[in-house]
Each structure stands twice: as structure tokens, then as C-alpha cells.
Chain A
Amino acid sequence: MPSTHDWINDPVGVVEGMFAASQSNPSSGWEARAVEFFKDRLKEKDAHTLVPSLNDIPMHYLKPNSLVKFRCFIQDMFDPEFYMGVYETVDPATQAKTLRCGKYKDVTECGVDFNSKNTVTAERQTFYCVPIPGENPWVKERYANSSQARVVPSTSYVPSRQKRSYEEDDDMDTQPQKQREAHAGPQSPTEHHGNGDCKRQETEAPSSQMTSASHLDLNFPLPGEKGPSCLVKVYEDWDSFKLNDMLEVYGILSVSPALSALADEKDASSNLLDPTESMETAEEQRVHCPPASLVPRLHMLYAKQLQHNNPLLPSAATSEDNSAFLASTLSEMPSVREELLAYLTHVLLGDALAAEYLILHLISNVYVRRDVLPLGKFTLNMSGCPTVASYTERLYQIIQQLVPSSHYLGMSLQNMNQIRLVPKKDYVANRLVSGALQLAKNTSLYLDETQLEQGQLDTTGVRNVTALGNLISWQKVDYDFNYHQMEFPCNINVLIASEGRSLLPSDCQIHLQTQVAPSHLEEYLSTMHMLSQASSQLNKFRIYLSVARLLDYSISDEVTKSVEDDFVDMRKDDPQSISAEDLHRMLVVARLLSLSQGQTSLSRDSWLRAKHIEALRRSRMEQHKCVNGNEP
């Protein structure tokens, strides 16, 4: 290993070196310098790609106490904790005292002198982080491929058991373990924990509990998610992080088995005399101190808030880089837009107008909130979706290929009555139990209403539908804290596919007009080609959609004036034709239309075009209303 990479392999050594050096010079501010050091290193060209990522490298390949990165989502925030920032150890043999640094570590060295006057207590915050919910496979793959980190399974670390991921572990171990337990049970039921020989059993006990609900224990927002979750320890500036933020954390991986051992010990109810520990419930212990082999600790050195999780875009370390990149893609945007429009038209059974609206929806983004009103959201209700040949699911698959993260929610009665959409605080375990609406910003939520059948929604169902309604209208989710609710703003693109008008509110409804005869639909769908995974065209689309969302936008005074005139004129002709709400929508459409063409300010043409497509859409609605009169 070249010595230049020591800061990746042994960041603790670097930190300790700085700490030691600072002892002679107390005012050196070594802490800031240490953080600065890592930041500088990461700024070097491609340096960040050298750091192995927890997302794509199995944990047992990573060296403990090495620098790793983790692309994650803050699912929960635990209470701040106080730790020994600096402490003194006493060598039992020589009685020599040494000052040590406790930062970026979970466990202290031997022989801590608790009464040393040099002890410094410091504060840090713990975040519970999970991989970004709903991140699509292409994103993961792409990130993994771009990584240059060479991972050599370390020899010092003997992962005899950990080599299997915990899920396999469960499957394979439950059986024999149960047997073993059955053996051990009658012989020494009480000694189960006290016996030093059955260490193996002890460490396995928690994992066997997880078999039934392994994902629940890791608390992923969406069912069926995989990947490591992490307890990220934050040392500075934790107020700047918010729940549901997307982060790229660079930190020191800590998987010290001592942590799990400590956690295990606590289960044994031997410490009657220690009130501080007997007070915490087993659940709380399990959540807050899970075995480090399942949930590693990550001591944050540096974190980057992610504006997007599209691997094809520069990760926007500095805004200047970013704007240069944006400028370069701007010129291509109209042509890419044409291609994408053609492709989506093809996908939407030849309906160009619907394709146009779909593009607008895909690049929509809540860019500002005016008191309670979120601006820029564009929830699309695509009605008239054919119910044959699982069309709606196919449509989702295509969207999945285009956007970095998305989630499909089939609104079947059973689903609505059963799933947990709204996160809820579990006071017993003292954590926020996640729900499917705890999503990172700009996640595409695809609601498939064609799955709805007749039946009755129960209490949960009604609550879920209300939550979805709130999400769409106000872009917020009221998390359930039992004694009160807490409002968390969100920024989720909701697309509703339905047959008739959706039961949920929406900003805009478009009725799909297929150009394909129903009899040929099946055939058409089977020939509908999906773009191959890595095609450059698909990548162009992906970049296009993400970039359009990041662009700034403005309206000149001139155009403002003409928009106002237009509005007044329209109202003059027929006051019923356009309401304030319609103007709101038209302004959003105009904004998105401009952005979709790579224009950062509203032009007269775009405004007219926005008016035009809105008129087309409305006339289609009218038409549709006439066709089946029972539509409201």
C-alpha cells in the first residue's frame, strides 16, 4: 500500500498524531485542523473515489477503523451523548499516565483514570442512517462502478462468521442454533448468559430474533430494502442536519466487537445495583446499541449534503463546478427533450400531450415555501390508464429507469389498510419507526390506483389516505408522536395512475388518449422496447431530468406584465374560464416548460406554449366529461 493512502487506511492514526502534536501547543485547534486535513485530501482529484463505500462493499471486506464513505439518509436522530473527549490512562505496571484522545472512538483504552482532572467531556450526536430509500438499481450500480477503492480482505480481521451477510446468516443459523438451544435448555437454563463458554450463543441470540423481522429492526422506510444501516456519530454542527436529509458521510468505521459485547452484557439482568442500566428496556438497548457487526458505527469526519443522488452528475462539491456543468448541458437540453418526448410518447401509447406533462412532472420540485404553500409541486394524475397487461407496472419500470429514486405503491385495499405510511414514534424503544412516506427529496412516488377494488377502508386505511392527501396538497407528512403530531415538510413527486379521476387530490389531471386500439394493446406492449440498461440515450435522459431540476429560474418584469395582461383578458372574456387556481397551475406549467427546454427565464413563447398545452388538456377533460357523464 502506498503510504499516501494512510489517511484512508488509518485515519485514527492521523487524528492521534495531530492530537499528540497539539499537546505541546494547546491553542493549536487540532480538531479543526484534523477535519480540514481530511477535507483537503478529499478535494484532491478523484480522491473521494478511492475511499471504499459502505453502500457497495460488504462490510466484512472493510477494515475496521479505516476511512469509509456512506451515501445515506437520516432516518432518525438519537439523543446527544457525552463522551470522554480526552482522558488519561494509567499503566498498571508503571503507573505512568498518558493522555489519550477519545474523539472518533467508541471504546477507550485500558485503565482509564476516571478521576483525572485532565478529562474533558465533549458532546456528540448520533444519527441513525439507512441507505437512500427507493434508490434505483442503476444508481447503485453506477456508483459502485465509479469507485476505485481497492478492497483487500484484511488478514488481521478474521471474519469467520461475519463473512456471510446477516440475512444468510439468519437462514443458515437459525436451524442449528435452535437445536443447540434445545440441548442447552434443560441442562442449564439459568446459566445461559453467565457461562463464558457459550459466547457463540450469546452473540447469536439477537440475530435469531431478527429472522422474522430483519428489515423492521433496521427500520428501513420502504419494505424489502437491503443494505447496511449505520449509527453515524456527528461531532460538530449537528444542527445543520435535518431528518430525511441525504448525506454522503466520510468517517471512521468502527465495528469493535467490544460494543456488541457490552450490549449483550446488559441483557443479563445481573445489575440490580446499577439503576442507570436496568432502567432501559431491552428494546431500547437493541435499537440504540445493536451489535456492531450488523449496524456499524461511523464517526463522521466530513459530510456532504447531497442535492441529488444521480451518479451521472458531478456530486456538486462546489457550486462553481456545478454551474459549469449545468452550462455545458444547457445547450443540449432541447434536443434531449425531443428524444425523451418521443420515447415517452411511445411509452404512453402514442399520447404526446401526456408525455409532455409527464416530463413536466418528472422535473418538478418544491423550490420554495410561502408560509404554508409549497410552490413548484406538480402532482400528476394520469387517468384512463389501461388495466390490461399490467400497463401501470410497466410504466413504473420505465420511470424507475429514468429517476434516481422511486417507489411503487399499489393502492390495493389490502395495502392501504395494512402498510404504515406515516412514521410513528415508538416510545418503548425510543425510536422513530419508519413509514413508506419517509422519503428523501425528489423521490418519485408512484401511486397505482388501478389496483383499487371495492371494499371498506378501516381506520388505518382512512389515515393513510389522509396522509397521502396531505402529502399531495401541502407536501408535508405529520409524523405521529403519540401525544402530538409533528409536521415534516417533504418534497416528493407524486404520480397517480388511475382509471377514472383519482380519489386523491392532484395539481393536474390528464386523461390518457391512447392511439392504440384496445385489441392491439397487448401486442403493442409486448413490442414496446425498453431501452437497454446502459444505453447512452438512457443516460442522457437521466442527466437531463436531474439537471432540469437544479436550474435557477426567473421571470422578467416584461413577461410578468404580459402574463398579467393575459390573465385579465381571459377573465374579461369569461370569468368562469380561469380562476386564481388555474393561474397558479399555469405559472407552474410555464416554469417547468421553460426549464425543460433549458431556459432559465420565462419567455413569451414559453408562456404561450404553456397556455396552449393547458388549453389542450382542458379541452380533453371537457370532452371526456361529455363522454361519460358520471365524471364529476
Chain B
Amino acid sequence: MSSPASTPGGRKRGRNTNPPTPSSEDPTSPPSQRRRGQDSSTGDLMPMPTSPATDILSPAAPQDTSLLSSPRPSVPPNEVDMSSPLMYGTPSSRIEGTPRSGVRGTPARQRPDLGSVRKAPQVDLHSEPPSADGAVASESNAGQRLVIWGTDVNVGTCKEKFQRFLQRFVDPTSTEDENAGLDLNEPLYMQKLEESDSHCTMVQLTCYPQEVIPTFDMAVNELFFERFPDSFLEYQIQVRPYNAVKTKSMRSLNPEDIDQLITISGMVIRTSQLIPEMQEAFFQCQVCAYSTRVEVDRGRIAEPAVCRHCNTTHSLALIHNRSVFSDKQMIKIQESPEDMPAGQTPHTTIVYAHNDLVDKVQPGDRVNITGIYRAVPMRVNPRQSNVKSVYKTHIDAIHFRKTDEKRLHGLDEEAEQKLFTEDRVQTLKELAAKPDVYERLSSALAPSIYEHEDIKKGILLQLFGGTRKDFSQTGRGNFRAEVNILLCGDPGTSKSQLLQYVYNLVPRGQYTSGKGSSAVGLTAYVMKDPETRQLVLQTGALVLSDNGICCIDEFDKMSDNTRSVLHEVMEQQTLSIAKAGIICQLNARTAVLAAANPVESQWNPKKTTIENIQLPHTLLSRFDLIFLMLDPQDEAYDRRLAHHLVSLYYQTEEQMEEEFLDMAVLKDYIAYARTYINPRLSEEASQALIEAYVDMRKIGSGRGMVSAYPRQLESLIRLAEAHAKVRFSEKVETIDVEEAKRLHREALKQSATDPRTGFVDISILTTGMSATARKRKEEVTQALKKLIQAKGKTPAMKYQQLLDDLRGQSETAITKELFDEALRALADEDYLTVTGKTVRLLA
């Protein structure tokens, strides 16, 4: 019978070299005999996967060949006649008109993923005619004795356990619809299995997957048809377990994992074309037209030398059309970059997908694969007696799970949840409980960069991010949860270094330089794939850093064109593309960490932020925090800085080691908080936020200007949430708001101080002009108007002369720009027009 033992892996472990244990019933009897007696055989035939492998090893004689062809699912000939001329091609092409019900009528699909010649033996079981209850009882009795070869898998117990588990699971959700229901629910089986006491079944499943899974298949089908006797299924249900206990990285696979159920994660790098793989060869005698079938054994077909019917030698010819093929695809998986040790190249593994799983994944997909790890010796060269002593390894896939499937849609895609060990979680929680965790973490951030504590704190909050909120029902769409930060300051204040550090710290970081990136490089571009000649969308840095941080250096050197794409990303967190017939909106929920140099290469303290960095204020207002990194130039600072730098150059290895650990902890800490902590505002916190906002507005209103806008309130909320995340707190409390306020003020103080008055003025960022400047403009305009009116009825004036006159009249210096602006303001009032060098009055 088709047996697990006939796969090469099984051989290697030497399971089958054991002499067949003569169990009480007839599994060891010649299969041919069994085939005949099948219908009348008793229930003990059930644990079929036991097969005398020794027979298979010498498939020379004709009768041995017939031994090889395992009894196919015995179905009444009028239903599925496998040898009928109509039945050819891949099994999936067989569709029948006759309605069937019950296991008996439903063809079992082959499971090439389990073994080369495996066929589910459950039909044999059901061909017995006893009443259901009695059968179960007798089975479990029989099961006590029947153990699959070379293993300790007790079929009866195993099946019973699985059925019990299934029943426990199925009952609570009895709404399932006949076909899809079970498929959908399948994933839960494993969890349930774990919960239930059948833990040993789990162990058996991982160790002997090719024996246990068919047993599961059997159990599921039995149960299904028991519950839905009238249902119609095209094929029998197959069990596809996933998330095996032995979840491994590709690197840690070793010879002990051969033939075990494993789950590995990786990235698909190549897929082959569909390969039809022969499962069963159909031979016909040229002389007497007698036909016979030979199953593929280990990739080979033993051609029958003699026709059994007419005893002619070498008369049999292969009929391709009537042979049975199954689909197969080779997929290459590469280790995901996160799992790799530094300084090594990624490993690749070959995966074979069968039947349903063909074409389920594309190159570039990140997947978790559950399958059976196989090793096959290199082919023996017929002309050479020695063999290459190397095995080829591959994985027969049973289940794929795409880890980035929901990347483009869906809000909470924490699909690739990082798994934390209990110990790790404990350590992290202990760390979180410390009162100074915030300070600790911020000082662990880029320790080689000196001081700038507030900036580091800001970046720390950015790493944690706020809570995602969905207001799409009220029409507002998603609220931005990411904190955007702009660093600006003198060259050589290690801004780039800070960016590099952040880029290296976060899993989905992107680093670009404003000078070298174009708009398409940031967003997405359409190109023709050289292989498939299809247009494909290549995503740029912003899309790639979805759920991560996009670090943009030399922000000021970016072209206006490029910068404009950031507007949408930085508030709506999406990216709309209309290129080459592809119109779509991609998610770009990325936090932006940008660094800009002042225009005059040195920061001019006499100018405002806007004037110093010459960025459009529309963009600036989208940054939650704008920090200035300036050289403070005071002695104490210098001394500490010098000490810090010098110590960099002679610190010992151990100290370095310590620090490295910190970085790993920091990484995990952030990942944990981002995944599991979703703080909500508490009542007090909301009050505190309201107060803070009102206060901010008040500061401005006293002087006739507005110093806060709703955007600032949103920033405050985000920062407070992030701070709560740092504490691993599910609730945003007043202390979080306090810190958010402090940090926000600190950043404002640095960036939005009006150099003329020394006050904090948010309008510098929101409108690009401080309130004082606006007031001044107003004054000049009025003065100019007065001047013109005083001149009386002169329809046209010389530009230069007017400027000189105004300058002479005013006590303060009037720049040409100021004058131009005043003129423009008057032109807007339709009071005058400016043409070239002349100013004409209207009306």
C-alpha cells in the first residue's frame, strides 16, 4: 500500500529495514490479495500506512510491480472508473455529474505533499459496512494494537483524539456552511489541539507528519460525512496544519529535521513554471491491448517488462494521455533579512508546492511555510558506480501563510507579530516598571551622540508612535498616529548620524538623501518587468517604510517637486498614484524623520525657522516637533562634549558589549510596545489636554495672535499616547500629557521663537510669517497708501522714487521686499497696479 515508508527520507532513518512486524491482522499480507478481498475485509484494515518496504526495494519481477501499485480508493466502478478512457489528465479535471454523498463517493485527492505515492487510505475504512457507533468502538479497540511502522503513532488513539478535538471545536460554531466552513475553521484546530490534552498527538504530528496527517484527513472526512450525510463535496477534505511547534529559522535547519513537520519564514525569490508530475503511468500492451498502471516510486517508473496478459516481453508502451499527473511548482525561499546574522549571506531553500498550493505565492512575498523537510540523495548516474555524497534538500509545502498579505489594506495588520519569549517579556516589563524608563531609553538611543536629550526623547516618542484611530465612519478617515520630526541646525551637529542610527534601529526603516532622491524614488514608479514584460509598480522609500520610519537627510536640498509628494503622506498617510494606467492609493503610514541644513550653511539666530531653512510652511506645519540642533557654545557643555568624544576613542570592549545589549533590548522594547500597547486617553488626561490647548491659544491671543492650531492639539495627543506606550500603560495619564506639553514647548521654543520679539509664535510655522512681521507689513502698507494719497492726483509714479520717498518718510528701515509686499497688498485692494517700473493708480 502506498506508504509513508516509501519515501526516501523514511528509508534513511532505517524505519523500514525492520522486518515487518506481523501484526495480528493482514496489513502484511500481499497487497494484491488485499485488493481482491478489500470489500469484505474487516475494520482492522484501517491502519493501512504500514507497508512492507522490503518488497518495494526489488521491483523487478512483474508481480512485484503489481504490488507497487497500491489499491486505489475503491469506489464502485459505476461511479468513478479510473481506468475508463474518459478519465485522464490531472486528477482535478475529473468532474462527475452524478451527485454523491458520503466519503465513498467523494474522490480523495492525492497528497503529493505527504509522500510520492500516497493516497489517503480512508476509503478502505469506509468501505466496510458497519454501523457508525460500532465502528468507532471497534476502531479504538483495534487501535490499541496497531501502530504505524517504526513510529509510536497509534492510529486509533490519534484519530480519536483528533476527532474529539474537532468535535469540541465544531460544536460551538455550528453555523458553518458545508464546504467553506470547515476550511475556514481549520486553522483553529491546531490551537485547540494544543489546548486539549492530546499534546502527544502534537508531538507525533511534528515527528511523523506523513503518517499522522492522513489520519487526520480520515478523521475529518469521517466526521464531516457523519454530520452532513447529504452534502456534496468535490473532493475529500484535506487537513493542512500550520504553525508547527518546530518553528525554525532557515539557518537552524539541520539533518535532524528531515521528514519532520516544520514551519519556516522567508521571502519568495523565484517560482518555477507549473510542472506536471506523473503520479501514475499508464501502460498498454501493443499486442493484446491489455493495460496496466504503474505508480511512480521515488521519481521513477518501473516499466513492466512482460505483459501479464499475453506474456509478450517488451510490448508495453506508455500512454501519456491516460497517465495521471499532478501539479507541482518549485519555489525558492530566501531567509528574511531580519533573521540573519550580520556579515553572512542569506540562505535559500527549495520548496515544492503541490496541487492547490501551486501559484499561491509570488516572488517578493513574505511567507511562513509549513511543510515536511526532505532530503533526497543525488541521482545515481547510470554510467557511474559512485554517487555524489550530497543530499538535495527541499520542503514539501503543506501550508503557506503570507505574512505581508494585508500590507496594502487593513488597519491592524500585526501579522508578523514578533514572538517574544516569556523571559523577554518579563525583562521588558521589569524595565517598564522602572520610574525612569523614559530617561533610560532615551539615553540608550544613539549613545555616541552627545546630549541633545530632548531631541532623543522626541525621537524615542516617534519610535513608539501614537495610537491608531479610525474615524472613517464620521468622514474624517484615519487619524495620523505617526509623529513626524524635523531636525534642523548647523552642519556637523551629527544630524545624519542620528538618522542613520534610527534607520538601523527600526525594522522597516528607509534612509534617503534629499539630494539624491526624486519624487518617484520616494513614491512609486511603474516599470516594465524584464521577464514577464508586464508593467509593475515599484514602490519607493515612503511606501516601503509603511509602519516604519522614513529618514530623509538633506531635506532642504530636495526639489520642490519631490517635496510636494510629502504633503499627502505626512497628513493623510496615503500615496495616490496615477501612472501608466495604474491608478491606486497606497498606504504610507510612515513617520518622517527629516534633517535640514540652514540656507546660509550656518544658522542665523536673527531669522525665523522658515527663513533659515526656506521650506514651505505648509510642509513645516506637518511636523509635530521641529528641533534645532545648534552648537550651544558654552564652556561646561564643551567640556562634557570633549569628555564624551575622547571616551569614545578608548572605551574597552566590555563597555561596548554592554551597549550593544542595550540596543537589542531597545529594539524589542519598541517592538513589544508597538504591538501590544494601545493606550487610550483617560478622563483626566483629556482635561489636561484641553487645558494645555486653551493655554496655548491664550498665550497668543493676549498679543493678538494665535499660537496654536488644532494640528498642535493632535500632535499633543500623539505625543502623550507615545509616552504612555513608553510606560507600557494602557491609559494616557496626566504625566504623559505633561511630558508631551513640555517636549512640544521645548521644540516650539527652539523653532518657533520670533527672533524679533523673543516670543513663541506658532504662526511662523503655520503661515510662514510671524505675527509681528504681519503687523509690520500692515503698517507699511498703510504708510504707503497715505504717501500716495498725499501726492494727490498723479496717475503714475516711478517705482524707485516711491520707494525712496517711503524710506525718507519712515523711521524704521524699509527693505525692498517689504515695499514690494506693501505694493502687492495695495494692488490686491485694486488701489493700484504695478507694471514694470511704473506704479499706476486705479480709479
CB nearest neighbor in B for A279: B330
Across the interface, do B341 and A239 meet the contact criterion of CB distance under 8 Å?
A: yes
Q: 9 smallest A-B Cβ distances: which pairs? A: A117-B14, A242-B343, A567-B642, A110-B385, A564-B642, A370-B448, A121-B255, A82-B391, A581-B492
Task: Specify which chain A residues have a CB less than 8 angstroms from the CB of B375 in the assembled complex.
Answer: 82, 121
Q: Answer whether residue B289 sits at the interface, using C-beta atoms and an 8 A cutoff.
A: no
Across the interface, do A481 and B346 meet the contact criterion of CB distance under 8 Å?
A: yes
B323-358 contacts to A (CB < 8 Å): 328, 330, 332, 334, 337, 340-350, 352
Across the interface, do B386 and A123 meet the contact criterion of CB distance under 8 Å?
A: no
Task: Specify which chain B residues have a CB less than 8 angstroms from the CB of A105 in the assembled complex.
Answer: 389
Question: Footprint of A on B, CB under 8 Å?
Answer: 8, 11-14, 16-17, 57, 254-255, 258, 267, 269-270, 272, 275, 277-278, 296, 299-301, 328, 330, 332, 334, 337, 340-350, 352, 363-364, 375-379, 381, 384-394, 446-448, 450, 492-494, 496-497, 500-501, 504, 513, 516, 631, 633, 635, 638-639, 641-643, 645-651, 656, 659, 663
Across the interface, do B255 and A82 meet the contact criterion of CB distance under 8 Å?
A: yes
Task: Specify which chain A residues have a CB less than 8 angstroms from the CB of B275 in the assembled complex.
Answer: 275, 278-279
Say how far B212's CB is from chain A's closest CB, in angstroms: 22
Across the interface, do B649 and A571 meet the contact criterion of CB distance under 8 Å?
A: no
CB nearest neighbor in A for B375: A82
Q: How far is the CA of A9 from the CA of B36 in the complex (A)?
A: 64
Sample (14) of A-B pairs whose CB atoms are under 8 Å apart: A82-B375, A83-B389, A109-B386, A116-B17, A258-B386, A275-B299, A279-B350, A371-B446, A371-B663, A373-B497, A375-B649, A555-B649, A572-B638, A588-B649
Q: How far is the CA of A373 from the CA of B448 in the complex (A)?
A: 8
Across the interface, do A483 and B267 meet the contact criterion of CB distance under 8 Å?
A: yes
Q: Answer whether residue A21 sits at the interface, using C-beta atoms and an 8 A cutoff.
A: no
Q: Answer whether residue A265 sits at the interface, using C-beta atoms and an 8 A cutoff.
A: yes
Q: Answer whether residue A526 sits at the interface, using C-beta atoms and an 8 A cutoff.
A: no
Of A261, A371, A560, A580, the most chain B CB neighbours within 10 A belong to: A371
Q: Answer whether residue A77 sits at the interface, using C-beta atoms and an 8 A cutoff.
A: yes
Task: Specify which chain B residues have a CB less than 8 angstroms from the CB of A83 in the assembled complex.
Answer: 389-391
Task: Specify which chain A residues have a CB less than 8 angstroms from the CB of B494 in the assembled complex.
Answer: 580
A353-402 contacts to B (CB < 8 Å): 368, 370-373, 375
Q: Answer whether residue A419 sits at the interface, using C-beta atoms and an 8 A cutoff.
A: no
CB nearest neighbor in A for B336: A484
A115 touching B11 in the complex, CB below 8 Å, given contacts A371-B504, A584-B645: yes
Say how far A247's CB is from chain B's closest CB, in angstroms: 14
Across the interface, do A483 and B385 meet the contact criterion of CB distance under 8 Å?
A: no
Across the interface, do B388 and A106 meet the contact criterion of CB distance under 8 Å?
A: yes
Render A58-85 as a binary contact track against B, CB cut-off 8 A, 1 for contact: 0000000000000000001101111110
Q: How far is the CA of A567 from the CA of B504 in the complex (A)?
A: 31
A115 touching B299 in the complex, CB below 8 Å, given contacts A77-B344, A82-B255, A121-B255: no
Across the interface, do A242 and B344 meet the contact criterion of CB distance under 8 Å?
A: yes
Q: How far is the CA of A102 from the CA of B386 in the complex (A)?
A: 12
Task: Specify which chain B residues have a CB less than 8 angstroms from the CB of A115 in the assembled complex.
Answer: 11, 14, 16-17, 57
Across the interface, do B648 and A121 meet the contact criterion of CB distance under 8 Å?
A: no
Render A250-279 as a binary contact track against B, CB cut-off 8 A, 1 for contact: 000000001101100100000101111111
Across the interface, do A79 and B349 meet the contact criterion of CB distance under 8 Å?
A: yes
Q: How far is the CA of A271 from the CA of B301 in the complex (A)?
A: 12
Q: Is the interface of A mostly helix, strand, loop or mixed?
A: mixed
Contact of A554 among B364, B492, B650 (CB under 8 A): B650
A580 touching B649 in the complex, CB below 8 Å, given contacts A79-B349, A368-B656, A371-B663: no
Task: Specify which chain B residues have a CB less than 8 angstroms from the CB of A76 in the assembled complex.
Answer: 345
Q: How far is the CA of A553 from the CA of B650 in the complex (A)?
A: 8
Q: How far is the CA of A581 from the CA of B447 in the complex (A)?
A: 16
Task: Specify which chain A residues have a CB less than 8 angstroms from the CB of B647 in the assembled complex.
Answer: 560
Say how far B459's CB is from chain A's closest CB, in angstroms: 13
Q: How far is the CA of A274 from the CA of B378 in the complex (A)?
A: 10
Q: How far is the CA of A59 from the CA of B640 in the complex (A)?
A: 61
CB nearest neighbor in A for B394: A276
Across the interface, do B650 and A555 meet the contact criterion of CB distance under 8 Å?
A: yes
A229-243 contacts to B (CB < 8 Å): 239, 242-243
Across the interface, do B643 and A564 meet the contact criterion of CB distance under 8 Å?
A: yes
Across the interface, do A112 and B343 meet the contact criterion of CB distance under 8 Å?
A: no
Across the interface, do B348 and A77 meet the contact criterion of CB distance under 8 Å?
A: no
Contact of A371 among B347, B385, B448, B646 (CB under 8 A): B448
A108 touching B389 in the complex, CB below 8 Å, given contacts A242-B343, A274-B299, A580-B641: yes
Q: How far is the CA of A244 from the CA of B342 in the complex (A)?
A: 12
Task: Specify which chain B residues have a CB less than 8 angstroms from the CB of A435 in the assembled complex.
Answer: none
Across the interface, do A262 and B388 meet the contact criterion of CB distance under 8 Å?
A: yes
Say how far B605's CB is from chain A's closest CB, in angstroms: 13
Q: How far is the CA of A382 from the CA of B144 in the complex (A)?
A: 85
Across the interface, do B299 and A110 meet the contact criterion of CB distance under 8 Å?
A: no
Across the interface, do A370 and B648 meet the contact criterion of CB distance under 8 Å?
A: yes
Q: How far is the CA of A87 from the CA of B348 in the complex (A)?
A: 27
Q: How far is the CA of A430 from the CA of B391 in the complex (A)?
A: 18
Task: Specify which chain A residues have a CB less than 8 angstroms from the CB of B386 in the assembled complex.
Answer: 107-110, 112, 258
Across the interface, do A121 and B389 meet the contact criterion of CB distance under 8 Å?
A: no
Additional A-B contacts beyond A106-B388, A109-B386, A568-B642 (20; CB < 8 A): A80-B347, A81-B390, A81-B393, A82-B255, A108-B388, A118-B14, A258-B388, A271-B379, A372-B497, A372-B500, A372-B504, A481-B334, A481-B337, A484-B267, A555-B646, A555-B650, A583-B642, A584-B645, A588-B649, A591-B649
Task: Specify which chain B residues have a CB less than 8 angstroms from the CB of A279 in the assembled complex.
Answer: 272, 275, 330, 350
Task: Specify which chain B residues have a CB less than 8 angstroms from the CB of A584 in the assembled complex.
Answer: 645
A82 touching B300 in the complex, CB below 8 Å, given contacts A242-B343, A265-B381, A489-B343: no
Render A582-593 as a binary contact track against B, CB cut-off 8 A, 1 for contact: 011001100100
Across the interface, do A560 and B633 meet the contact criterion of CB distance under 8 Å?
A: no
Task: Specify which chain A residues have a CB less than 8 angstroms from the CB of B258 in the assembled complex.
Answer: 82, 121
Across the interface, do A259 and B645 meet the contact criterion of CB distance under 8 Å?
A: no
Contact of A111 among B344, B385, B391 (CB under 8 A): B385
Across the interface, do A580 and B492 meet the contact criterion of CB distance under 8 Å?
A: yes
Q: Answer whether residue A49 sits at the interface, using C-beta atoms and an 8 A cutoff.
A: no
CB nearest neighbor in A for B255: A121
Across the interface, do A84 and B344 meet the contact criterion of CB distance under 8 Å?
A: no
Q: How far is the CA of A571 from the CA of B638 in the complex (A)?
A: 7
Q: How far is the CA of A80 from the CA of B639 in the complex (A)?
A: 53
Q: How far is the CA of A289 from the CA of B141 in the complex (A)?
A: 55
Q: How far is the CA of A483 from the CA of B649 in the complex (A)?
A: 37
A273 touching B299 in the complex, CB below 8 Å, given contacts A279-B330, A375-B648, A462-B516: yes
Q: How far is the CA of A114 from the CA of B298 in the complex (A)?
A: 13
Across the interface, do B646 and A427 meet the contact criterion of CB distance under 8 Å?
A: no
Q: Answer whether residue A139 sits at the interface, using C-beta atoms and an 8 A cutoff.
A: no
Task: Specify which chain B residues have a CB less than 8 angstroms from the CB of A277 in the assembled complex.
Answer: 379, 392
Say how far B466's CB is from chain A's closest CB, in angstroms: 26
Q: How far is the CA of A259 from the CA of B516 in the complex (A)?
A: 48
Across the interface, do B389 and A77 meet the contact criterion of CB distance under 8 Å?
A: no
CB nearest neighbor in B for A113: B17
Contact of B384 among A77, A258, A373, A462 (CB under 8 A): A258
Q: How far is the CA of A110 from the CA of B278 in the complex (A)?
A: 30
Q: How far is the CA of A206 from the CA of B21 in the complex (A)?
A: 52
Contact of B642 among A109, A117, A278, A563 (CB under 8 A): A563
Task: Specify which chain B residues have a CB less than 8 angstroms from the CB of A368 in the assembled complex.
Answer: 651, 656
Q: How far is the CA of A311 from the CA of B67 in the complex (A)?
A: 68
Across the interface, do A121 and B492 meet the contact criterion of CB distance under 8 Å?
A: no
A587 touching B390 in the complex, CB below 8 Å, given contacts A79-B349, A119-B14, A567-B638: no
Across the interface, do A121 and B12 meet the contact criterion of CB distance under 8 Å?
A: yes
Q: How far is the CA of A244 from the CA of B377 in the complex (A)?
A: 31
A84 touching B645 in the complex, CB below 8 Å, given contacts A370-B656, A371-B663, A567-B638: no
CB nearest neighbor in A for B365: A483
Q: How far is the CA of A554 from the CA of B641 in the complex (A)?
A: 19
Q: Answer whether residue A47 sits at the interface, using C-beta atoms and an 8 A cutoff.
A: no
Say how far A256's CB is from chain B's closest CB, in angstroms: 9
Say how far A97's CB is from chain B's closest CB, in angstroms: 12
Say how far A560's CB is from chain B's closest CB, in angstroms: 5
A276 touching B344 in the complex, CB below 8 Å, given contacts A87-B389, A579-B631, A591-B649: no
Across the interface, do B379 and A274 meet the contact criterion of CB distance under 8 Å?
A: yes
